[in-house]
Each structure stands twice: as structure tokens, then as C-alpha cells.
Amino acid sequence: MGFFSKLFSKDDEEKKPEPPKEERIFFDDDFTRFYYFANPNTNEFGYEGELKPLNPQNDYDALVVYLEADTPETTEATRCYAMFKETMADMERFDYDMKRLTAAYCIKKPEYFNGKSTEQQLIDSMNICWMGFFRNGNIAVSIDSHGEHGLYMDNAHLILKADGSKQIEIEGFYGEKQTDTL
């Protein structure tokens, strides 16, 4: 190497090799690509993917699906993936049932409904925005309402428990929450 090249070249000591990029764990499904994530702070270990909802209200609506890992120590999610596939096999019925449960609950609550719409109008103004499948056998669903037809809630969170019981939590526009068993 010549004198000038030594003056104008970077010293080998200054060149540091880039650390290897960590490969993201994922798997592809007929509906979406699921990416693995682990968050020990919130005890969340599983996969997440986005699907286009059955009846999107706008171009920005997405259905986020969470599949909990079989254990925090593994990246396998076999049980939750099986529950997801079973749900997706009859998603139209599942979608309608979740919205119907939410609408029927809200109709009975004057703080969440103005009484001027039919149950079907309420159902039509809702969309499922999140579904979670958990290793304990529970399925959780979040339903968003666009405030149409006199429904006064920000979202509803339903939990279908493995024992067959159902729970609903309604969050109002100002953060107030009400939880009941269905």
C-alpha cells in the first residue's frame, strides 16, 4: 500500500464488523404470515398476524390474530393454531355470533345504546379487530364499533372460556369499563 493510500484509507481498527442480524421467526398460513414475539414483561409469548376482516368498514381495518405459544420456553403454538384453524373454518358464523352477543348485551344497557336501532343495524356497524387464542383454551375477541346507530362504546372484549362460559367487557368512550358474564 502506498503512502497516500495509507493516509486516505480507513484504519482496519476503525472498521468493526456488523453484528449478525437476528432472523425473525415466522410461519405462513393460508390467511396470513404469523411473526413470533416474546415479551417477558407482559408474559406474552406467541405469534401475531393480520388478516383482512370479512366486512371491512374502511381500508384501514385489519383483524389482528394472536396465537399464544404452547409454553413460554418454546416457539411452538400447536394448540392455539388448531383453535384458530377451527374458528376460521366457519368464520362467518363466528363473526356473526360475536357481534350478535355484543349487540344483544348493549341493547339492554341504556348507557351504551340510544334505543333507536335494530339489533341487525348494530351488528352491521361492528367489526372484529382482534382475536386471541390461548393455551388454556380461551378465545378472546375485541369488537370495534364505529359509533353508528346509537351505540355508545369504544370497543367490546369478549372472552369465550374453555369451560363454555362467556364474559364481556365494554369500554366506553371515556375509558369507563363494565364487565359481565353472558
Residue 7 has pLDDT above 50, yes or no: no
**Mean pLDDT for the stretch of residues 112-124:** 85
* Domain enclosing residue 76, as ranges: 23-48+65-89
pLDDT value at residue 19: 63
In a domain, 127, yes or no: yes
Domain for residue 56, yes or no? Answer: no
Same domain, 140 and 160: yes
Q: Are residues 108 and 29 in the same domain?
A: no
- Report the distance separating Cα 167 and Cα 178, nearest Å: 11
**Count of domains for the chain:** 2
Both 27 and 79 in one domain: the answer is yes
Task: Examine residue 164 and state whether it is found in any structural domain, yes or no.
Answer: yes
Question: End-to-end alpha-carbon separation of the chain, Å?
Answer: 80
175: phi then psi, degrees, rounded to nearest 5: 90, -5
Going from the C-alpha of 101 to that of each of 98, 126, 148, the distances in angstroms are 5, 12, 17
pLDDT at position 1 over 70: no
User: Does residue 32 surpass a pLDDT of 90?
Assistant: yes
Please enumerate in sequence order all residues whose Cβ is within 8 A of that of 42, keeping only pairs 6 or more positions apart, or say none: none
> Do 69 and 122 belong to one domain?
no
Same-domain status, 124 and 177: yes
- 135 and 166 fall within a common domain: yes
C-alpha cell at 31: 390467511
Whether 178 and 114 map to the same domain: the answer is yes
Q: Of 171, 92, 159, 89, which is closest to residue 130 (Cα–Cα)?
A: 159
- Contacts for 121 with CB less than 8 Å, ≥ 6 apart: 148, 149
Helix axes 91-107, 78-89, angle to 10 degrees: 80
- Span 62-115, pLDDT tens digits: 899 999 999 999 999 999 999 999 999 999 999 999 999 999 998 888 787 888
What is the Cα–Cα distance from 52 to 172, expressed in whole angstroms?
Answer: 25
Strand pairing category for 126-133 and 33-39: unpaired
- Co-location of 85 and 153 in the same domain: no
Looking at the fold, whether 146 and 117 belong to one and the same domain comes out as yes
Q: How far apart are CA 68 and CA 73, in angstroms?
A: 12
Is the CB of residue 122 less than 8 Å from the CB of residue 103?
yes
- Pick the range with the lowest mean pLDDT from 49-53, 141-145, 155-159, 170-174: 170-174
Whether 5 maps to a domain, the answer reads no
The C-alpha cell 374502511 sits at 58
* Residue 114 and residue 38 share a domain: no
Q: Structure pTM?
A: 0.82
Three-state secondary-structure class, residue 12: coil
Which of the listed residues 57, 89, 121 is the one where a domain comes to its end?
89
Closest to 157 measured CA to CA, from 146, 173, 171: 171
The pLDDT tens digits for 151-172 are 777 789 999 999 999 999 988 7
Same domain for 152 and 74? no
Whether residues 106 and 157 fall in one domain: yes
